[in-house]
């Protein structure tokens, strides 16, 4: 069975004390994970070092970053590289979140470089894709998302693609309280898997975890996660509350 993943994306939230408290609270929930389940906490860079030490002994929990630089090192003031994150023990990085595409003008060309930096450092990119409402209104969402996958991931080889996690996040569902229906999520996840299969074959496409993101809460997670091609979620707002997030972890398929 594919890995089932509850991934938190804290975005730019919480001060140092709040972040430390939330990490402690989630830790202390002691949720039993099966061997195919995992939790990924994507937190602000500055808290990663401490968090990794805190979670060292916690099996199947991983501390992740929300971004990395396109380059390896050098005179790039303010940037953080995948190799720096690797040196702290980071195993996952969110790449291509719609907020970065929109507010930081990240193009597919930029995302390809970030994905490559991750893979060079044995880090799994959590590659985000998803359409705006205007595109869904025109019923062009399948083609649009397939093209994001083609443009950013089709340069990879059979081995590399197995180290990618995909997060489908329809932009109209992010932070709006409006989720895709479980059928809409399943239809898109199938479309993504089919797109991957056309390039990498059914067997490889079948192994890739595809997460859903967009207003997932503890009270709607089970329904969405129960769909065949939905392998968990990428969670924003609800990941900032330990009880809410624990409910979402508990909704993962066993």
Instruction: Choose between 91 and 199: whose C-beta lies nearer to ligand 13P.
Output: 91
DSSP-based helix, strand, coil % in the chain, nearest 5: 45, 15, 40
> In whole angstroms, how close is the CB of 178 to ligand 13P at the nearest point?
9
Q: Which of 97, 106, 186, 189 is catalytic?
A: 97
User: By C-beta, is 42 or 121 nearer to ligand 13P?
Assistant: 42
**CB of 220: closest distance to ligand 13P in angstroms?**
11
Which residue in the list 99, 106, 131, 169 is annotated as catalytic? 169
Count of Cβ atoms closer than 10 Å to residue 44 Cβ: 17
- Smallest gap from Cβ 47 to ligand 13P, in A, equals 17
Footprint of ligand 13P on this chain (CB under 6 A)?
9, 97, 169, 174-175, 213-216, 234-238
By beta-carbon proximity to ligand 13P, the closer residue of 40 and 200 is 40
Residue in the block written with tokens 């044995």: 122
CB of 245 to ligand 13P, least distance (A): 11
How far is the C-alpha of 230 from the C-alpha of 6, rounded, in Å?
A: 11
Does the annotation mark 97 as catalytic?
A: yes
* Residues 95/126, Cβ–Cβ less than 8 Å: yes
Helical ranges in 29-181 per DSSP H? 45-54, 82-88, 98-103, 108-120, 133-137, 141-153, 158-161
Of the pair 175, 201, the CB lying nearest ligand 13P is at: 175
Kindly list the catalytic residues: 97, 169
């Amino acid at each position: 069975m594919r890995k089932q993943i509850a991934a938190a994306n804290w975005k730019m939230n919480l001060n140092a004390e709040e972040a430390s408290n939330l990490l402690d609270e989630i830790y202390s929930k002691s949720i039993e994970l099966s061997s195919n389940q995992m939790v990924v906490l994507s937190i602000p860079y500055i808290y990663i070092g401490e968090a990794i030490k805190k979670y060292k002994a916690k099996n199947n929990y991983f501390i992740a970053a929300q971004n990395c630089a396109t380059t390896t090192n050098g005179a790039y003031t303010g940037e953080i590289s995948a190799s720096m994150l690797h040196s702290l023990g980071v195993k996952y990085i969110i790449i291509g979140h719609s907020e970065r595409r929109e507010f930081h003008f990240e193009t597919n060309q930029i995302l390809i470089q970030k994905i490559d930096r991750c893979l060079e450092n044995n880090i799994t990119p959590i590659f985000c894709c998803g359409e705006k409402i205007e595109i869904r209104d025109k019923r062009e969402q399948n083609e649009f998302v397939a093209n994001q996958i083609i443009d950013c991931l089709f340069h990879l080889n059979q081995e590399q693609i197995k180290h990618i996690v995909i997060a489908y996040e329809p932009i109209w569902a992010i932070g709006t309280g409006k989720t895709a229906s479980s059928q809409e999520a399943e239809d898109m996840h199938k479309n993504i898997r089919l797109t991957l299969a056309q390039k990498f074959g059914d067997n490889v496409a079948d192994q890739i975890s595809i997460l859903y993101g967009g207003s997932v809460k503890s009270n709607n997670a089970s329904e969405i996660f129960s769909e065949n091609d939905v392998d968990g979620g990428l969670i924003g707002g609800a990941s900032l509350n330990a009880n809410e997030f624990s409910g979402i972890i508990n909704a993962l398929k066993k």
